[in-house]
Structure 1
Amino acid sequence: MKKRILSLWVFFTLVFTFSFSTIAIAETQPEIVGTSAIVMDLETKEIIYSKNIDEKKQPASITKLMTALLLAENKSKTDLLTYPAAALKEEPYSYGLNVHPVTPGDTFTGKDAMDILLLYSGNDIAYMVAENVGGTKEKFITMMNEKAKALGMTNTNFVTPNGLDDNTDDHYTTAYDLSLLLNAAYGNEWIRETMSKKESEVKSTNGPSSIVENRNKLIGVDGNIGGKTGYTEKSGRCLAALYQRNGHTLATVVLGSDYNFPVDTQVFEDTTNLANYGFNAEKEIFKAKNTEISEVTMEYKILPLIGPKKAIKVPVTIHEDISLYPTDLEPEFNSEVGKINIWTLSKDKSIGKATVNIKGYEKQYDIYSGLSNMDIIKSNILYYVLALLVLIIIASLVILIISKINKKRRKKRNRIYR
């Protein structure tokens, strides 16, 4: 009795331990407050996490990433940008209102303009960049939307250079589109360098020096190498961030999170949870190796050149697992078979390509036949046996006929010689 009780205790202990280990290892998708979010691997363009990624949202000051990109592409760090009078009318946060008064006509270097734009998130400086790069704000907005289109941001429309949206509902984008913008920003050395700073000393040519701090509270923490914050009443708290760990680079975007004033931590908690999940997430098998993914019907002649035609269904397989990150996105999966010669068919020779596509991520895999030429020969063995018998009979008849003809000729020659 004691042994039975002990055995049961050991059994349930093992079951509990195994179950606990499984739960501990499994990476569950994070629960976040943000209403729209994405995590993307910037090397492969794989989407690791998605939540309403194509839902149109106000991006607030994340807009300034596009403004910064156009600044970097059209000006240098040493170029001087003139502060226009209209910039004074922009709402806080504004360098001229909240840091140090600026007189219209004062100038900023491109370097200081970029630092104030991305670290302090100066709304007036965004307006200054717009006029100095585009000539007018309106022309600059056109440049922003053209650049968005070039980047593949198909669900984006910019109306302001700084993201202020009090007077418009037409300034919008999506989490997915912002991941494309973040990727472009990461690819620009000047922007990448600026976003990585915790603070910077800046000034106008006629003003005193000031220290502006990065509003991204996560900079330098657990692999965070940059980002851009945002907030309006319409947008909620937003953050687009970049992370690097162990040679991998991820882009995270959170839109519509809570602004839990005065601590302002929620969007940063959302982002941290997404980054941790992104680096630890494991793929799941979408299509297992050696499984049939499709089939093609082919016609061939049982005997080359002659004989009846026969149709055969050739199963199409893959020789490796196709694994994807578990998201709410539906992958597109297609396969294309090339020209097939039935008589040279091999299970180890690729007959085409299978393609997996999810948004901007695409990967191809070799596909193979589930049948070989020997399988086809075996399936028609009766025909070949019969054909062989017919050939033997025909050959025998031919030999017999030739033999008779030769005998007649010999007899005829013998008569002549007599």
Structure 2
Amino acid sequence: MKQKKLSILLIFIFILSLNINVFAAGDNQKTEPQIYGKAAVTIDMQTGEIIYAKDIDKQMYPASTTKLLTALLLAENKNKTDMLTYTQDAKAQPEYSLSLNLHPIAVGEKMSADNAMDGLLLYSGNDVAYMIAENVSKDAKDFSDKMNEEIKKLNLSNTHFVTPNGLHDPNHYTTTYDLSVIARAAFQNPWVKESMGKQKSTIKTSSGTTFLIENRNKLLGTDGCIGGKTGYTVPAGRCLVAIYDRGGRKVLGVVMNSVYDQNDAFVFDDMKKVIDWSYAAKPVSLHKKDSVITTKTVKYKPLGFVGPEKSIDVPVTIKEDINYYDNATNKKELKEVVNLNDIKVSSLKGTEPIGTLTIKERTASRDYKLYSALPKGALMKNNLPIYGAALLAVLASLGVIAFAVKKILDIKRKRRRGKYTW
């Protein structure tokens, strides 16, 4: 008997432990990933909504992720077949340069802009960045001015670039959020998008030198990663931009100031964590379908263009669910803007929109149609006193008219009688 009770107790404990594990697994799925990167962000590429956010406005050094903006300026100012000349400043750049690490390139040699784009984005050539800068502009300083003009066009207030390759300068900085905007703009350029998605490329110079280069983005081609850019300096730490496409939905991730270990694994693990979490993240409800957003007092004349004016409080509602991603940035900055039309009584039936609700989350903006939710019969009930008074006035008028008609007829009859009296 004791053995039977002990067996039942053990089974109960086992089942309880299973339930605890299930609950724990569920909690872990909701918990934001722990990463080594000091800052990170993920963005829905279609809407611009922020999904994951960690210190997204903290100024940091971007290292070679800078080259995404250099690539965009190359694409905007040159054609693929244009020939670029290798410059003295390009030759002077440190390691992770084509000339230093792969094969010497002489000042004055040329390569196509298409090859330069690949050398910039796949191999991350520091010399290639300067070659591009001095072929697009008169010198590197003029190119940095162009970079900052582009930054201004993108409405970025926490970014300032000095060099085309991102080698350390205390005045060369950005944030994970600003970098995501730059990366998104770069990816929208077909040439940049094509280049960052290549696993390998062959580069040729006018002297006949040939380089075979491979993309340094270890995530490219796995789990939906279709592009990105790596970066590293000691002050910047390991940086990574990566763009994913899973089932047609594109998500862009940025991780900055992560650890650069011997196997160079941490930043890529960080990115995988935040991307997987972001694809699994479900937006939370901001407003449920048919919920009242605001109330609008509408003034009107029940009798049309005449008579007294009445007012009625109209509940304004939406006809769809409105959701948003629950993170610290959105909680702090999300704004709701209600714009109502010049509302007419005929539009209070709820069948036609009477305005819009705009949900703003930084650069993301979504519009939803607003409708009247006035209860059926509310307008008639509101109008009854005036309709009643109007009806009494009409009846009184009819009575007066009837009385007047009767008097006139009576007078006519008397006159007729008087005419035939002797």
Same fold by TM-score greater than 0.5: yes
Distance in 2 between the 1:410 and 1:343 partners? 51
Which shifted more, 141-150 or 80-89?
80-89
Map 1:15-414 onto structure 2 (within 5 A).
16=19, 20=23, 23=26, 27-165=30-168, 168-206=169-207, 208-259=209-260, 261-330=261-330, 331-342=334-345, 345-371=348-374, 374-414=377-417
Distance in 2 between the 1:382 and 1:320 partners? 36
SS of residue matched to 1:409 = helix
Distance in 1 between the 2:375 and 2:167 partners? 65
Contact kept? 2:36, 2:270, Cα under 8 Å: yes
The total of aligned residue pairs comes to 407
Cα gap change, 1:399 to 1:16, in 2 (>3 Å):
farther
Distance in 2 between the 1:272 and 1:245 partners? 13
Contact kept? 2:41, 2:56, Cα under 8 Å: yes
Contact kept? 2:347, 2:353, Cα under 8 Å: no
Distance in 2 between the 1:242 and 1:383 partners? 64
Distance in 2 between the 1:127 and 1:365 partners? 47
Could you tell me which amino acid in structure 2 is paired with residue 134 of structure 1? Answer: S
Using the size of structure 1 for normalisation, the TM-score is 0.89
Gaps of 5+ in 2: none
Contact kept? 1:157, 1:171, Cα under 8 Å: yes
Contact kept? 1:27, 1:280, Cα under 8 Å: no
Distance in 1 between the 2:108 and 2:288 partners? 65
SS of residue matched to 1:120 = coil
Gaps of 5+ in 1: none
RMSD of equivalent CA atoms: 2.7
Using the size of structure 2 for normalisation, the TM-score is 0.88
- State the identity as a percent: 42
Could you tell me which amino acid in structure 2 is paired with residue 347 of structure 1? Answer: G
Could you tell me which amino acid in structure 1 is paired with residue 226 of structure 2? Answer: I
Contact kept? 1:315, 1:369, Cα under 8 Å: yes
SS of residue matched to 2:329 = coil
Contact kept? 1:344, 1:373, Cα under 8 Å: no
What is the CA-CA distance between 1:309 and the residue it aligns to? 3.4
Distance in 2 between the 1:264 and 1:22 partners? 29
Contact kept? 2:71, 2:120, Cα under 8 Å: yes
What is the CA-CA distance between 1:274 and the residue it aligns to? 1.8
